[in-house]
Structures are given as structure tokens and as C-alpha cells.
Amino acid sequence: MDQGREEIYGVAPNIGWSSWKDAESEEEVENLSEHLCACCEEPIKFNEEIILLQGAYPHFDGEDIHYNMALDDDGEPDVMPVFMHIDCWDHVGETICEIREDTPPINEPGTIIECDTCLCSVRMGEKVVIAESGTFIQNPRGGGPKFQTRVITNILCLPCATIVSDVSEIESWVDINQQGECFHCTKAHCWRIGKCFCVCHVT
């Protein structure tokens, strides 16, 4: 990621954390990062390997591919970053593969990126969701926990990201899209062919 790393890693504690804090002992709370897994909604521990999912745009500079955070007009994340336990992420990935196994990948000549799940090609400038492994550590400067990234593990196209949203019931991802299109048009990559005749374009 080339943009916004500090902003993403400094996100506020997950909604629902306060109820966990009240229910756990002080010793147990001290080992928790104040973030919940977006899939199972269980607390995430410090130094536990997890996955960060966030929206990005791929950019090729002639030598390497970089990923710039997807931001809205106000400079906020266009796809709300979420965290998952490794086993939860593995389960979600297996579910995506099962759902998409009978759907042939859409491949276009000249593209250099493909979705790691469905193997569809991804154009430069198309929004993707990247999965980065890492851990939460205590911030030595004080304040909230800090996410320490390790490596990008997966690249997901938008249609696969909509499945992640469905499987994990991520409310903030319900309207994930490329150009304001509806859920069905996102799954169909309709922005590649121009506006279709779906009601989401003609109203």
C-alpha cells in the first residue's frame, strides 16, 4: 500500500467492543486489541496473526504494481477496513471458491492482475480488496493498538468482495461497488461495457 497506511491502521475500536470489555476480566482485556473479527465477532488478541481487508486501486508504474487505498470524496476509506482471524478468513475463502467454482473466469488480454479466488482478470483502475496478514501490537507511543503488516496474501475482485460481505455479514460492505452501480451490476462487471439498462443506471 502506498497511501493512507497510518489512517487505516489507526481505525477506531470495533462497535461491540465495549460489551466484551465489560464481560472479560481485567487480565484478559489487557491482552485484547479492542478490535473484533468481522466474521465471528470474537475479540482479536495482540500478537495474533490476522488478516486486514481493505479497498484499493492497483497501479502499475512500468516495473511494479502498487496498491493505493480507495478513498471517497471526503478522503475517507471507500471500503471500510475490517479484520479477520486467519481461520475465519480461510473459511470465507473456501466458501467463495465453492460459490464461484462453476463460473468461468473472465480474462482479458493485456491485464497483469487476476483475482486470487476466481481467477478473473483485473484492469488497472478497477477497485479491488486486498488481504494483508499482520498482527496488532501495543503502540509504543501510547494511544490505541497499532496494526503491523507483513505481506499482501490475496487480491480479490469486486464480485468476490461482495461474496465476502454476504458470507461474513459485513454491514459496511453492503454497498461495495465500482461506480455506484447496484449489487448485480457489480457482479457482472458492467462498468467495463458502459452503462447497461439496469434501473441503477437509468434512474
pLDDT digits (tens, 9 = 90+) for 104-151: 888 888 788 999 999 999 998 899 999 999 999 887 777 778 888 888
pLDDT (mean) for 44-59: 93
- pLDDT for res 15: 42
Q: How confident is the model at residue 2 (pLDDT cuts 50, 70, 90)?
A: very low
d(CA 147, CA 80): 15
Mean pLDDT of 34-62: 91
List Cβ<8 Å contacts ≥24 apart for 142-148. Answer: 143/10, 144/10, 144/12, 144/13, 144/34, 145/33, 145/34, 145/35, 145/46, 146/9, 146/10, 147/8, 147/9, 147/52, 147/83
Q: Which three cell numbers stand for residue 166?
A: 454476504
| pLDDT above 70 for 198 | yes
The model carries a pTM of: 0.81
- Residue 168, classified by CB atoms within 10 Å of its CB into exposed (0-12), middle (13-18) or buried (19+), is buried
Interval 42-53 mean pLDDT: 93
Using the Cα atoms of residue 158, residue 118, residue 155 and residue 146 in order, give the sign of their dihedral.
positive
Q: How many CB atoms lie within 10 A of CB 12?
A: 9
Give the C-alpha separation, 43 to 29, whole Å: 9
C-alpha cell belonging to residue 78: 471507500
Closest to 9 measured CA to CA, from 82, 65, 59, 84: 82
